[in-house]
Structure 1
Amino acid sequence: MPKNKGKGGKNRKRGKNEADDEKRELIFKEDGQEYAQVTRMLGNGRLEANCIDNENNIRKRLCHIRGKMHKKVWIANGDIILIGLRDYQDDKADVILKYMPDEARLLKAYDEIPESIRLNEGIAGGMDDDDADGDANDYVHFEDEDIDRI
């Protein structure tokens, strides 16, 4: 029986981009680019996003996730992304970059993103100010009789 000469299978290849956790330089938008917030994932490498053209103008655009990011950078609802606008199609765009939650907070601090945009930090962001109250309505209380019936 021959010895295995390879280093591993597809699971090893999937874990190659583990070095993305390190700090990277904050990238600002240039001409032909805009910031956007993901509203809906559509599948097939596409998503719907609210583009922040300026303070008063927020447009919905259909965005395509470029091949370099496809299946390597996971994008979810509420994420802040950088998109490249198309000259020939105004209602479509291409996703160039996904900002990490701390980078999105920095963009908001630099007034690149308007204050009206609510950032979705997910689990890494911790609790919001609204959740800090610790309302009793967030929990379901059972009586001993209910537990015995289950």
Structure 2
Amino acid sequence: MVTRVRVPNKKEREMLGTVTSMLGANRVVVRCVDGVTRMCRIPGKMKKRIWIRENDVVIVIPWEFQDEKADVVWRYTGPQVNWLERKGFL
């Protein structure tokens, strides 16, 4: 079986991160690969379709005017996380 994986787009300022805690009100705390812990917002179109839990690997886009906040744009499944580790993204 082939695993299709979406990788972060550097031109769009996307980066990988791991959810460390849930805050409620569609907010999570994410530890990004650049070492910064950001408070991230889950947009409405993701909130209705995808459940995000602690220790999930996600793609976030930092805000341009406030670097310690970001938006979550993608959540990876287990096989996709394994692929990312094998290819050296994590």
Same fold per TM (> 0.5)? yes
Structure 1 residue 38 corresponds to structure 2 residue 9: no
Structure 1 residue 28 corresponds to structure 2 residue 7: yes
Q: Which runs of 5+ in 2 are unaligned?
A: none
- Alpha carbons of structure 1 residues 98 and 91: separation in structure 2 relative to 1, 3 Å: same
Which one of the candidate residues 81, 103, 110 is aligned to 2:58? Answer: 81
Residue matched to 2:31? 50
2:18 partner letter: Q
Larger RCO (CA under 8 A, 6+ residues apart):
2
Deviation of 1:24 (Å): 6.5
Question: Is the contact made by 2:58 and 2:75 (CA closer than 8 Å) also made in structure 1?
Answer: yes
Stretches of 4+ aligned residues off by more than 4 angstroms: none
What's the CA shift string for 1:118-139, capped at 9, x where partnerless? xxxxxxxxxxxxxxxxxxxxxx
1:37 partner letter: T
Deviation of 1:59 (Å): 1.3
TM-score normalised by length of structure 1: 0.55
Q: What secondary structure is seen at the aligned counterpart in 2 of 1:40?
A: strand
What's the CA shift string for 1:23-52, capped at 9, x where partnerless? 773111112011000000001110001001
**Aligned residues between the structures:** 87
Q: Which runs of 5+ in 1 are unaligned?
A: 1-22, 114-150
TM-score normalised by length of structure 2: 0.90
Superposed CA RMSD in Å reads: 1.3
Matches within 5 A, 1:1-150: 25-31=4-10, 32-53=13-34, 58-113=35-90
